[in-house]
Structure 1
Amino acid sequence: MKSKIFGLLICLMGTHLGIAQSTDIEQEIKDLSTQKWQWMADKNADSLEVLFHNKAKFVHMGGTWGKDREVDIIRGGFIHYKKADVHEVMVEVLNENTVILWNQITLLAVVGENEVSNPFMVTEVYVKENDNWKLADLTFSKLMIRE
């Protein structure tokens, strides 16, 4: 009987630790996403270049491209992500090395010489590589606002 109770306690502790670890990862990714939006607003291409995975893909209303082009676009000011008003954040920890985050945002951006504001659902996929989180995918899906 004692061994069954001990086994049950071990299982409960393991479950608790797994939940705590998942919650810690969720918060770490939320914080990293918030930092990413600030780096984008600040045009901090150097920090973004470190964050972006070498094989990352970026899906925008105007096309899809890789890390080098995204960094060049930000560095050159072709797209300036001025301000992302985040309305909702959802995080799904797939495992200790892969996390998906969804942001519902209103993005104020300057594209070329035009300032635009659009509502988006943004999907961010993060993968852990050498103990560092890397952004592997950033997809903007424009939301249709019904009035």
Structure 2
Amino acid sequence: MGEVGAGSPSRLAVGGLVIDGAEIEERFVRSGGPGGQNVNKVATAVQLRFDVRHSQSLPVDVRARLERLAGRLVTREGVLVITAQRFRTQERNRQDALDRLMEWIRRALIVPRSRRPTRPSAAAVRNRLEAKRRRATLKARRREGSGEE
């Protein structure tokens, strides 16, 4: 299929977390897109795989958020797959894939604020009902003078 990358980072620091490089698997595959004849000879695209579900580097809540945020990029087994083939060289594609992984993790680190249910003020309720009454009256007047004889 492709060659497995030997140059995986030993550690990856993201927003206060340190991810062990052993948890990141890289595979180089042939790329589509720019590259001329080179594209048929050299495996420049990078397929980065990160097992979100079994990662020891991420807290449980971050793992769950990352799986939910990444959506289709996560397999049924909980592996995040990022394919980078934007550039002509392995190294730039590799860096692009790592940057995208770090961005996904950065987004998953943000704890969403819980929504606190609110109620409309008495004045807002009063104004809404008054506007409905005015509109109903206007429409009722139109019906009265429609001229059906």
TM-score, normalised to structure 2, is 0.31
Larger gyration radius, structure 1 or structure 2: 2
The answer to which structure has the higher helix fraction is: 2
**Could you state the TM-score of these two structures normalised by the residue count of structure 1?**
0.31
Greater strand fraction, Structure 1 or Structure 2: 1
